[in-house]
Structures are given as structure tokens and as C-alpha cells.
Amino acid sequence: MARKSSSPVPPASSTPAAAAEPPDAKKTPSLASLRSEIDRMDKELVAILNRRAEIAVQIGKVKNSNGMEIFSAAREEEVLAKVLGASQGPLPQDTLRLIFRELMSGTRSLQRTLRVACLGPKYSYSHLASVAKFGEAVEHVPLGSIAAVFEELNRRHVQFGIVPLENSTDGRIADTLDMFTKLPNLKIRAEVRLRIHHCLLGRCEWSQMRRVYSKSQAISQCRNWLGKNLPQAAKIEVVSTAAAAELAQREEFAGAVASKPAAQAYRLNILAENIEDQSNNVTRFAVIAETPEARTGRDKTTLMARIPNDPGSLVKTIAPLEKMGVNMTWIESFPIPSAAGDKNPAYLFFLDVEGHIDDPIVQKAVDSIRKRCERLDVLGSYPRSEVIES
């Protein structure tokens, strides 16, 4: 944006009157003039934002007439990368990210209001991840279970779902992997890696607390802290951290391990912050939808492979990755539910590899892997993402 000549910063002057002023008075513009400069820039900003929104409305029409989807994770990542790359000013990258997240959320909503399902109630970490990805200008639909998120998406009651995949402290989220085995047609369109800071919330003193509610993974992520600081309290697992906060609000002598925003939403006191045992506690969420995501050049692909329970079977299955130089970034084994009791059950493996399924080398490696599997599903290719601070 070009600076106008009406800048409040006074030009250097050598007139006798200016020379008579104390040196500091010359350098420091008045508060009023600085604020009027901000007011002027805000007007320019609003005009530019509205011009941007008008273009987005036109893009929406083009998308509609071509039968294209409104949300594009690939394009939004591209916009963010360009914005962050172009910035040279003092604004922190996280701040710019937040501003552009809401900007794109707002322009997207002019094209169509999206419905995004997540594990609720509101202010669960899934809800926070959904806000981190889609912004506030979507209809967040909090549901009672991870299975319900998949089912609502499959019934087309929502356009997107967001589900936790794995946590850096606690490992895979079995409920999510289980639902991919049941609905492998749903595609991962984006990932959200959210740094999770847990708080102890409640209305009583720690010493009076008899029960602490939370989701099993959150209890597990704070196990040492809870054992040391609240040995007297029973740890009770509930469906989500936000559901735990709701219970802690209703019950006397109860607490919850939940997010900071949940404290305000459920009118609870923050009794302790950052109680996770490992400071680098990150949960990776998957944004799921019916259709696949476009290639960005900075992608990863998630595969679900059912392989025979034979010696060396896994090594043989993933050998093409090494041969073709495709990097694997995640592997998780998962027993096949229907095979319980089976003497020699096959196993499912979830794998992440770098690259998009439309990259010829990835396609070739996946084709080779498929030949060595009983079944292979490509659960989606999507842009790789940075960790977002919560």
C-alpha cells in the first residue's frame, strides 16, 4: 500500500522555528496524528478487503457453473504460503495466519455457508481444530462421537468433518481408524496439527476435588501431573474434554482436564495451565470429505493397507517405497475388528507417504504396494501443514 504524503511523521526541517523546538518533539508524532494515520489506512484496508470479497464472489460463480467445490485446502494453503512469504513487517506469522484464516472464512461464506461436523460439545479440541482450519464463518456442528462425524458426512448432512488421527504423546485415535475401516470411501482433504495445552478447570480448590473428568487421551497425556497433584481424585473418562467441562460445571467437587477456551465457555476457573506431561503435545486432525483434494506440490498421502499375516509380509509390502525413494512419515498397525477370534487374522496398516497420489512416482509406488496387499485404500492426498499454536 503506497503511503500518502499526508504522513504524520514530520519531514526533517532546518527552519529557525524548527531548530528552536526540543529535538524529541520533532521526532515523535502526536498520538492524534498517528491514530488518524491508522484510521486512514483502515479505510483503505476495508476497501481492499471488499474488493477481494467481490472477486471471491465471482470465483464462487465460476466454481458453481463448473460444478466445482467451494472449499479448496490446496488453494488456501497456497494463499497462506504467499502471504507469509511476502511479509517483511513486524507482524508475527501466527497473527497473519489468523487474519487470513478469518478473511478466507468470510469470503468462502459469501460463496456458500459450509457445515463442518466435529466431536463436541463446543470448545472440544476438535472444535478448536475446526475453527483453526475453517475460521468462524462456517457452521460448526458439534456431535456426540467420532463415529457420528463420519456418519453425518456420509449421509451428506455436512460437507466436511474433522476427526483426531493421532497424538504425539498418546499415539493413534482408535475410534477414527476404526471408522476409516467402515467408511473407506471418505477422503482426507487436509490435516490440522494443533499444539494442545491442557488446563485443570473447576469451581473448587484442588485439595477438595474428588473427581476429574476428561477424554481418555487427555487423561493419558496428563497422567504424571494428575498422579502427582491430584492423587485423591478419581479420573473419569468421558466422550470429550468439553463434555468433561460441562460435567465439572454441574457437579460440586469435580474438575475437568480441558482447553482454556472451555473454561470461559463453561464458566469454570483455570486452576492450572499447561498440565500436559510433554510440552510438545501435538494432535493431528484429519479434515474429511466425500471428494479428494488437488495437488499442491507439498503434499502427503494416507494409505490403508490390509496385508496377510505372513512372515515378512509388511517388509515386502512397503519395499516399493524404498525402491522408488518415496518417504514414509507414519505407520500404525490396527487389528481388523471382524477378524477377532480368527487364529491368523490379517492386519491393517495406516501409512503416510510424502507426495500426492497424482505424482507419477507416488502413483507407481502405490500400484506396486497394491499388488502385495489383500486390499489397499487411498484415504486421501492433502497439503502438509505446520503445527498451529492453540
Residues at the interface with ligand PRE (CB under 6 A): 56, 59, 71-72, 75-76, 79, 104, 107-108
- Which residue, 71 or 349, is less far from ligand PRE as judged by CB? 71
The minimum distance between CB 72 and ligand PRE, in angstroms, equals 4
Rounded Cα–Cα distance for residues 284 and 163 (Å): 9
- Which residue, 71 or 266, is less far from ligand PRE as judged by CB? 71
**Locus of grid cell 492524534:** 32
- Which residue, 266 or 285, is less far from ligand PRE as judged by CB? 285
The minimum distance between CB 60 and ligand PRE, in angstroms, equals 6
The minimum distance between CB 99 and ligand PRE, in angstroms, equals 12
Distance of CA 203 to the CA centre of its chain: 30
The minimum distance between CB 83 and ligand PRE, in angstroms, equals 10
DSSP of 102-113, one letter per residue?
HHHHHHHHHH--
- Which residue, 102 or 322, is less far from ligand PRE as judged by CB? 102
Residue nearest to ligand PRE (CB): 107
Gyration radius from the chain CA atoms:
26
- Which residue, 28 or 87, is less far from ligand PRE as judged by CB? 87
Peptide bond into 121 cis (omega under 30): yes
- Which residue, 137 or 247, is less far from ligand PRE as judged by CB? 137
- Which residue, 104 or 351, is less far from ligand PRE as judged by CB? 104
Alpha helix (H) residue ranges in the chain? 16-20, 23-27, 31-65, 73-86, 93-111, 125-134, 146-154, 174-182, 216-221, 223-229, 241-250, 260-265, 313-324, 360-371
DSSP of 14-73, one letter per residue?
--HHHHHS-HHHHHS--HHHHHHHHHHHHHHHHHHHHHHHHHHHHHHHHHHHTT--S--H
The minimum distance between CB 86 and ligand PRE, in angstroms, equals 14
The minimum distance between CB 100 and ligand PRE, in angstroms, equals 8
- Which residue, 71 or 150, is less far from ligand PRE as judged by CB? 71
Q: Which of 335-351 are b and which e, b meaning 16 or more Cβ less than 10 Å from the residue's Cβ?
A: eeeeeeeeeeebbbbbb
The minimum distance between CB 191 and ligand PRE, in angstroms, equals 16
The minimum distance between CB 69 and ligand PRE, in angstroms, equals 8
Rounded to 5°, angle at Cα 147 from 143 and 149: 45
Rounded Cα–Cα distance for residues 212 and 123 (Å): 18
The contacts of residue 38 (CB under 8 Å, 6+ apart) are none
What letter represents residue 129's amino acid?
Answer: A
> Do 106 and 137 touch, CB atoms closer than 8 A?
yes
